[in-house]
Amino acid sequence: MENEEKKNRNKGGRPAKIDPAVHRYSISLNDEENARFLTLFETSGMHVKAHFIRACVFQKGIKTVKIDKATMDYYMRLTSFYSQFRAVGVNYNQVVKILYQKFSEKKALAYLYKLEKKTAEFAVLSQKIISLTEEFEEKHLKK
């Protein structure tokens, strides 16, 4: 009876896994193979080498993540340009308001005419940027 109680007594600690991974295998790679393995591992985006090897062995598909620096740079520049474009729109409204407050109507209309010409040039530039962006997306982002 005492033997049975000692056997069933809880020792504490971490609970045992239902299906523990206890079988281990070892492989040896030369320098070239190791470099190739590490490259594949890094491009897979996985964090654990054992999980990567298991996925390769059982053909679960290897996920590769490619980051195109040119695309990221283009995106960042386009984002900053868009914020500047919005700032120009806000400034445009402020300039028109100040023109009518500070100058006579005739002088304000003359300045407004010049501003209107520059705005038209800006709109043409904006259309070119939109067309370049669409062209870039077609060539590089659609795969």
User: For the CA atoms of the chain, what is the radius of gyration?
Assistant: 33
Question: How much of the chain is in helix, strand and coil states, percent to nearest 5?
Answer: 70, 0, 30
> In the chain, what are the domain boundaries?
26-66, 69-141
* Alpha-carbon span 77 to 85, nearest angstrom: 12
Q: Are 43 and 37 in contact (CB under 8 A)?
A: no
For 38-47, what is each residue's pLDDT tens digit? 998 888 888 9
Across residues 71-79, what is the average pLDDT? 81
* C-alpha–C-alpha distance, residues 48 and 62, integer Å: 13
- Beta carbons within 8 Å of 68's beta carbon, 6+ residues apart: 140
What is the tens place of the pLDDT at every residue in 5-61? 666 666 778 888 898 888 888 889 999 999 999 998 888 888 999 888 888 888 766
Residue with the larger pLDDT of the pair 40 and 70: 40
Report the alpha-carbon distance of residue 87 to residue 41 in Å, rounded.
44
pLDDT tens-digit series, residues 77-134: 887 887 887 788 778 888 888 888 888 888 888 888 888 888 888 888 888 888 887 8
